[in-house]
Chain A
Amino acid sequence: MNTSQNRASPLAVTPVERNTSTVLFHHARHYTGVAMITLFAIIILTLFLSPLGYMAVTSVKSTEQITSGTLLLPMSPIQYEYKGEPYDLFNVPTDDGLKQWALVNAQRTSSEFVDPQNPDVGLIPWQGRWRTLTPVMTLEPQWSNFPLAFERLNFPRMFFNTLMIAVLGVIGTLISCILVAYGFARFPIPGKGILFVILISTIILPRQVTLVPTYAFFASLGWTGTWLPLIVPHFFANAYNVFLLRQYFLTLPKELDEAAMIDGAGPMRILLTVIIPQAYPVIVAVGLFHFVFAWNDYFEPLIYLLNAPQLQPISLGIQQFNDIYTKEPAMLQATSIMALIPPLVLFLLSQRVFMRGIVVTGVDK
């Protein structure tokens, strides 16, 4: 339980004089503590992320490999063709050591094998239970799952739809939320406190309570079955993002604004040349948040685009894939990978700036 400021020296635990042996003792104790806690965190993280491992290996398996194969890797039994018929290879212990033989005639207590190295010898009888033998396996990832899923889903079309909805929404969110947050952070608007409380209270308003009239409104405009209901509302600011941006803007020194004002810059110029360049971590965070939100959004595409398959984003399209292909876990995992790669790559690329943007503004005080 400590803050990052207090990681100076591990030895400065108590201000007591020490001789060499207690110093060594404290050293050892300290490093044991470091190792234990780090190991513990890594174990928890591994469990937390293990479904990703499941996804990765399952996505390159065939249905047989999933149901009967090994837990981890996509392994398949090796087969050997003898007299036109394929037979599974087993590791067979013999007097000359372990042999990889193909099982031709399986009986309970004695079986007949053929040696692929030496097939002309013919069938070799072997005493013992063949079920105790381990089959010879080889790694056989089914890379073809990806192109298959890609094709069945019409992935390029869905990818394009999702990207357009997300990018247009990000543009709308950034423009509107930056303007509104700037207004809240820097201008002496009468009743600003009350307005801000109203803004924040919309965060806790259940979306269902506005859902029906909003839907009816968009339906009366003829916007159902188009992207407009998924994009246009984001040009009218959103409480959570305004809150994040405003908190960050408030931490920026006012002196720079004032200096620019004295130089004759108007409010718009100050926003563009003073505020935005300083606030890029939170702007990246908000942009990414909206991108992920849009990539993720399921309910609105469901109600507005259910009957417009050509316009559906990935979230909705894959859902229908689930209905059809529940029996094919590999396909489902392959499509999941394709759906999560874009937001995840974007996050990993921007994570330094992004995490700073959230951490600075995230604390609600």
Chain B
Amino acid sequence: MQQPSPTYDLRRQRIIWGWVFLSPWIIGFLIFYLIPMIASLAFTFTDFDLTRPNDINWVGLRNWQSLLADPNVGASLRNTFLYGAIALPLTVGIPILLASLLNQPELLGKRWLRTLFYMPFMIPTVASAFIWAGYLNVETGWLNRLLALVGISGPNWLYDPQIIYFGLFMASLWGVGNSMLITLAGMQTVPTELYEAARVDGASKWALFRRITLPMISPVILYNLVLTTIGLFRFFDVPFMLKGSTGNPAGTTLFFNIYLYRVAFPQQNMGYGSALAWLLFIIALAATLVIFLTARRWVYYSGGEVG
């Protein structure tokens, strides 16, 4: 046997140090991700109920069967997707528009504007939900009074079942600051030469945006799209703060996550709650996969590398 060389020794030592530094995450991953995930899958086949935690019975596929029969599952999924159909394009699109505005070379006071557009992201959700609830109030709020100035009679944003998703979207609007900032940072890494070359060829501003900016920031758009989609399946705080788990008006705010909360916590039905959680996980995973698969068509990676 050969004596290990000093560089080999040093390398081994550095590997050990590396594991030491990673250990908080590895332990956390096991305790708070891997084991709970497996456990919650196992719970879906039981009648686990926290009011009688020592009396757990295997019930086979019963929870999964009730999932299919439960009208609230279909309704809450439909609400979540309907809200997503409105909120997703806006939540992804508005940061791009704001970032392009803030990236205009002629704009004065960029630093200030950037900070001020970002600022509401720092406002606690509970405060922003109440502020917007007041702002959208049909009698005393500002939005409908502003609309009245231009002759529009505003709707009852948070009480009309036809309109409430727009109201909820607005009440969540202040979350766009972070995506805007990341998009803006992405735009600022686009090489200037690309624009200059295109401009010499006589390209219009819109063509520059469509043919250069959008492809160059498409990885950032993908990132925002994935996080927004995940956020959609987590949608809870704003509707719950404003409407609780009542689903008012007309059942429109019974989002999937709110229904899950109602089953797992006030009702303490942990087995069925786990089945709901796993259904959500499967849907979210499928949605993310679809996004990543289609991403090959529209996400541009400079230099051809992926990821």
Whether a CB of chain B sits under 8 angstroms from the CB of A347 is yes
Chain A 137-157 interface mask (CB, 8 Å, partner B; 1/0): 000000000000000000000
The stretch that binds B, out of A19-27, A83-91, A94-102, A232-240, is A232-240
Contact B212 A1 (CB under 8 A): yes
The stretch that binds A, out of B65-73, B81-89, B160-168, B270-278, is B270-278
Chain A residue numbers with a CB within 8 Å of B189 are 363
Interface size on B, as a range, is 35 or more
Contact B126 A298 (CB under 8 A): yes
Interface of A (DSSP majority class): helix
Chain B 13-55 interface mask (CB, 8 Å, partner A; 1/0): 0110111111011011101110111011001000010100100
Give the distance in Å from the alpha carbon of A71 to the alpha carbon of B196 in the complex. Answer: 49
Interface size on A, as a range, is 35 or more
Contact of B25 among A58, A203, A237 (CB under 8 A): A237
Contact B277 A336 (CB under 8 A): no
Whether a CB of chain A sits under 8 angstroms from the CB of B113 is yes
Chain A residue with the shortest CB-CB distance to B170: A51
* A-B interface pairs (CB < 8 A), number: 307
Contact B15 A187 (CB under 8 A): yes
Give the distance in Å from the alpha carbon of A52 to the alpha carbon of B273 in the complex. Answer: 38
Within 8 A of B (CB), among A226-245: 233, 235-237, 242
Task: Quote the shortest CB–CB distance from A315 to chain B (angstroms).
Answer: 4
Whether a CB of chain A sits under 8 angstroms from the CB of B298 is no
Contact A333 B28 (CB under 8 A): no
Whether a CB of chain B sits under 8 angstroms from the CB of A295 is yes
Chain A 183-222 interface mask (CB, 8 Å, partner B; 1/0): 1101111101001001100111111111111111101100
Contact of A355 among B105, B118, B127, B264 (CB under 8 A): B118
Binding site for A on B (CB under 8 A): 11, 14-15, 17-22, 24-25, 27-29, 31-33, 35-37, 39-40, 43, 48, 50, 53, 98, 100-110, 113-120, 122-128, 130-135, 137, 139-142, 145-146, 173, 178, 181-182, 184-192, 195-196, 205, 208-209, 212-213, 219-220, 223, 226-227, 230, 233-234, 236-237, 240-241, 257, 260-261, 264-265, 270, 273-274, 276-278, 280-281, 284, 288
Across chains A and B, which 4 residue pairs bring their CB atoms closest together, nearest first? A236-B28, A187-B18, A183-B21, A213-B39
